[in-house]
C-alpha cells in the first residue's frame, strides 16, 4: 500500500482543474502535462501501445498473457479535478489508525463525524485528507493510481491469466467533455469499467438522465420615477420562473433516485437576466416531464409578459442502466471481484454521471467501480488507503475473472 500511497500523493500534487469557460481541448494545459507524465509511468510499468491523442486522451494496453480467446476489457479514469474548488498546492494529511473521532484539518476546519457519519466505518484505517484549503483530488486521481497499480501487479504476477487490458485516462470529465473525442474503435475493449466511484465496495450501473437549460430574459429599463406601465424587470421574472418550479425538487431536498431542477448560475439586471439550470432524473419519463414542465413555465411567462424569454434545453447524457441490463455478467463479475478483494459490494444509483454513461450509449458498456473516496469537489474530501488498495485488487480480480468466465465477444 505504500507504493500506492506514494503514487497517489504524487498525482494530487499536480493542479489539473478543468475549466468550463475554456475553448481549448483539454480545457487546461496542466491536464496535458499530467497526461505526458502518466505516459512515461505507463511505459515504465510495461504497458504497450501508449498513445496521447491531440485531445489529451491517454490510452495504453497491457497485452494478454494467454493465447486463449478472451474479450478485451478496459478501465477508465479521468485526469481533471473539479472547477468547483481549488486543486492547487494540495497539502495532504495522513491519519493512520484512525480512531473514529473528528479530524481537524487546519484553519479551524473540522471533518466531523456528525456531519459525515460514514467516517466511523473506517476506524482503524488510514484516512487521507487535505488541510482544508483545497479539494483532495481523489476524484479521480485515486482511480488513476489504482488502475496503474493493478497493471503493475498483473505484470509482476504472470500466473494470473488475463486477456488484453486497455486503459484510458480522459480530460475534462468534470465539465462534461471527457469522451467528446474518445476514439472508441481504436480503444478495442468490448467491455469496460470507469474507476470513478465513492466509498469502499460501491458499484454503480445506473445514473441520472441529464440535461442543461440556458434561459435568457430580456426586460425593459427606464428611470424608476417614470417606470409605470413601461418597466419590465427581468430579474423579477427570473424569480417568478424559479418559484413556478416544484419547490421540493431541488438537490438539497432529494436523494436516491429522486430527480431535481438545479439553478447553477444566475446573473441579472433590470434589462437582462440569464439563468443556467441542470435537470436530472433516473426515470426517463420523469426526465422528459421535467424538461416539458420548464418549457411550459417559460411559455406561460412569455404569454404574460410578451415573448421576453428564450429557453434552450440540451441533453447531456442518459441513464446507462438500459445498456448494462443487457450485459448482466458485468454486474455479477464486478460483485464477485469486489468480494474477492475483501470488500462488501454495495450497489447504488449515481446521483450524477460519469464518462461511462456516455460511453455505454456509444457502444462500450461501462459501469462504475469504487475508488475509496468521499465528499468530492470540496474541502471535506477524503479517501481511505485500504479501500484504494481493495479497488486495485478489484481491478486485478476482474481481469482474472473475465479470463475464467464464458463472456460473449460483444453484446
How confident is the model over 343-388, as pLDDT tens digits?
999 999 999 888 999 999 999 999 999 999 999 999 999 999 999 9
Query: 149 by DSSP, 3-state: which?
Result: helix
Residues of the chain above pLDDT 90, percent:
96
Strand ranges of the sheet holding 373-374, from the earlier edge strand across to the other edge: 93-95, 127-129, 382-384, 373-374
pLDDT surpasses 90 at 108: no
The residue whose grid cell reads 504497458 is 47
Look at residue 182 and give its three-state secondary structure. coil
> Residue 159: pLDDT band by 50, 70, 90 thresholds?
very high
Catalytic residues: 80, 173
Q: Is the pLDDT of residue 212 over 80?
A: yes
pTM: 0.91
Q: Is residue 410 scored above 80 in pLDDT? A: no
pLDDT tens per residue, range 130-158: 999 999 999 999 999 999 999 999 999 99
Per-residue pLDDT at 338 = 98
In whole angstroms, give the CA distance from residue 13 to residue 385.
17
What integer best gives the mean pLDDT of the chain?
96
Joined grid coordinates for residue 236: 423579477
Buried b / exposed e along 195-220 (16+ C-beta atoms within 10 A):
bbbbbbbbbbbbbbbbbebebebbbe
Whether 225 shows a pLDDT value over 70: the answer reads yes
Which residues are within 8 A (CB) of 231 and not within 5 positions of it... i.e. 6 or more apart? 219, 220, 221, 222, 224, 270
Judge contact between 121 and 115, C-beta under 8 A. no
The CATH superfamily assigned to 2-206+319-404 is: Zn peptidases (3.40.630.10)
Quick check: 188 pLDDT over 90?
yes
pLDDT in tens, 29-57: 999 999 999 999 999 999 999 999 999 99
Confirm if 137 and 77 have CB atoms less than 8 A apart. no
Given a cut of 90, is residue 407 above it in pLDDT? no
Cα–Cα distance, 311 to 296 (Å, whole number): 11
Into which CATH architecture does domain 209-317 fall? 2-Layer Sandwich (3.30)
80: cell is 481533471
- Looking at residue 408, its pLDDT comes to 77
Tell me the C-alpha to C-alpha distance, in Å, between residue 362 and each of 61, 179, 323, 355: 21, 10, 10, 11
Give the per-residue pLDDT at 107: 81
Give the per-residue pLDDT at 38: 98
Query: How many angstroms separate the Cα of 171 from the Cα of each of 79, 246, 258, 358, 379?
Result: 5, 35, 29, 14, 22
Mean pLDDT of 245-259: 96
The pLDDT value given to residue 141:
98
- The tens digit of pLDDT for each residue in 70-91 reads 999 999 999 999 999 999 999 9
Ranges of each domain in the chain = 2-206+319-404, 209-317
Amino acid at each position: 500500500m505504500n507504493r500506492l500511497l506514494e503514487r497517489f500523493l504524487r498525482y494530487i500534487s499536480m493542479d489539473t482543474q478543468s475549466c468550463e469557460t475554456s475553448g481549448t481541448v483539454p480545457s487546461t494545459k496542466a491536464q496535458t502535462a499530467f497526461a505526458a507524465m502518466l505516459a512515461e509511468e505507463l511505459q515504465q510499468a510495461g504497458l504497450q501501445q501508449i498513445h496521447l491523442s491531440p485531445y489529451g486522451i491517454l490510452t495504453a494496453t497491457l497485452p494478454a498473457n494467454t493465447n486463449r480467446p478472451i474479450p478485451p476489457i478496459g478501465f477508465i479514469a479521468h485526469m481533471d479535478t473539479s472547477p468547483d474548488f481549488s486543486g492547487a498546492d494540495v497539502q495532504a494529511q495522513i491519519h493512520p489508525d484512525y480512531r473514529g473521532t473528528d479530524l481537524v484539518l487546519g484553519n479551524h476546519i473540522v471533518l466531523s463525524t456528525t456531519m459525515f457519519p460514514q467516517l466511523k466505518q473506517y476506524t482503524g484505517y488510514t484516512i487521507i485528507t487535505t488541510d482544508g484549503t483545497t479539494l483532495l483530488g481523489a476524484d479521480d486521481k485515486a482511480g488513476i493510481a489504482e488502475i496503474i497499480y493493478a497493471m503493475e501487479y498483473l505484470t509482476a504476477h504472470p500466473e494470473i491469466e488475463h486477456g488484453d487490458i486497455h486503459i484510458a485516462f480522459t480530460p475534462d470529465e468534470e465539465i462534461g467533455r471527457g469522451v467528446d473525442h474518445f476514439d472508441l474503435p481504436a480503444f478495442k475493449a468490448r467491455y469496460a469499467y470507469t474507476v470513478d466511484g465513492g466509498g469502499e465496495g460501491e458499484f454503480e450501473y445506473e445514473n441520472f438522465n441529464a440535461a442543461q437549460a440556458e434561459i435568457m430574459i430580456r426586460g425593459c429599463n427606464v428611470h424608476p420615477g417614470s417606470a409605470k406601465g413601461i418597466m419590465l424587470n427581468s430579474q423579477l421574472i427570473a424569480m417568478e420562473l424559479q418559484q413556478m418550479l416544484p419547490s421540493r425538487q431541488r438537490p438539497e431536498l432529494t436523494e436516491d433516485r429522486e430527480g431535481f431542477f438545479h439553478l447553477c448560475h444566475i446573473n441579472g439586471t433590470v434589462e437582462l437576466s440569464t439563468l443556467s439550470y441542470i435537470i436530472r432524473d433516473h426515470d426517463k419519463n420523469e426526465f422528459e416531464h421535467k424538461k416539458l414542465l420548464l418549457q411550459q413555465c417559460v411559455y406561460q411567462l412569455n404569454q404574460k409578459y410578451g415573448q421576453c424569454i428564450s429557453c434552450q434545453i440540451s441533453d447531456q447524457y442518459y441513464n446507462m442502466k438500459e445498456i448494462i441490463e443487457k450485459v448482466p455478467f458485468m454486474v455479477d463479475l464486478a460483485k464477485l471481484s469486489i468480494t474477492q478483494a475483501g470488500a462488501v459490494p454495495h450497489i447504488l444509483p449515481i446521483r450524477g454521471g460519469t464518462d461511462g454513461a456516455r460511453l455505454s450509449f456509444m457502444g462500450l458498456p461501462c459501469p462504475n467501480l469504487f475508488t475509496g473516496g468521499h465528499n468530492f469537489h470540496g474541502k471535506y474530501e477524503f479517501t481511505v488507503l485500504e479501500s484504494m488498495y481493495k479497488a486495485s485488487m478489484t481491478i486485478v480480480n476482474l481481469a482474472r475473472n473475465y479470463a475464467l468466465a464464458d463472456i460473449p465477444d460483444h453484446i
